[in-house]
Amino acid sequence: MFRFLHAAHRFHHMHGRHHGGGGRGPKMFDAGAMRYIVLQLISEKPRHGYEIIKELEQRAGGSYTPSPGAIYPLLSMLLDMGHVSATPDGNKKLHTITPEGAAFLAENRQFVDAIMARMNEPAGGHGDVRGSMHALKVAVIQQVRENNPDEAKLALIQAILRRATAEIEQL
């Protein structure tokens, strides 16, 4: 938790009046940028933590999935800052933007829009391929986990995947 908060604090200073170096190499987002993205998603509609993870994965075309270890501490931080409120919803918490959070987003609208645009760009010109890979992954997981396939169906799925792999390798 301390490293996460330190990274968010460092980002705030890097994009405020203080300019420092650092970072651990290219990532989809650093902790500070993620705060704006998550707050933007919550401003669009109230969300649970898991919904935020899935929405980020979908918007990034499957090329990025934040870990729960990044999202849930961030939601706690946004709650502590007064930018979101959380109400119990079964065994989950539904996060809703507060007026303070909406004002924070409005004050940083240009930056938020730039981050969201970056997230929607195809990564390295391979966005369509990444999206297709993600769709394949989702289809396989759905068939295997949710539909409880028998051995014959599992063998068929494996054969399809082997054929696709072989065809791509032959290109």
* Own/partner long-range contacts of 89-93 (Cβ < 8 Å, ≥24 apart): 89/48, 92/48, 92/49, 92/50, 93/48, 93/49
Quick check: 113 pLDDT over 70? yes
Instruction: Indicate the angle between helix axes 68-81 and 49-59, nearest 10 degrees.
Output: 120
Evaluate if residue 155 carries a pLDDT over 50. yes
Instruction: Classify 143 as helix, strand or coil.
Output: helix
Q: According to the model, what pLDDT value does residue 43 have?
A: 96
Q: How far apart are CA 22 and CA 19, in angstroms?
A: 10
Q: Model's pTM, two decimal places? A: 0.58
Q: Which of 28-37, 39-48, 99-108, 127-136 has the lowest mean pLDDT?
A: 127-136
pLDDT of 53 > 70? The answer is yes
Q: What is the pLDDT of residues 85-95, one digit of tens each?
A: 999 999 999 99
Q: Please, are residues 6 and 32 in contact by the beta-carbon 8 Å criterion?
A: no
Which residues neighbour 13 within 8 Å (Cβ) at sequence distance 6 or greater? Answer: 20
Judge whether 130 and 63 are in contact, CB under 8 Å: yes
| CB burial of residue 91 (10 Å; 0-12, 13-18, 19+) | exposed
Number of continuous H segments (helices) and E segments (strands) in the chain: 8, 2
Which segments of 15-84 does DSSP mark as H helices, in order? Answer: 31-44, 49-59, 68-81
Kindly give, in sequence order, each residue whose CB lies less than 8 Å from that of residue 135, ignoring residues fewer than 6 positions away.
62
In this prediction, residue 38 carries a pLDDT of 94
Q: How confident is the model at residue 118 (pLDDT cuts 50, 70, 90)?
A: confident
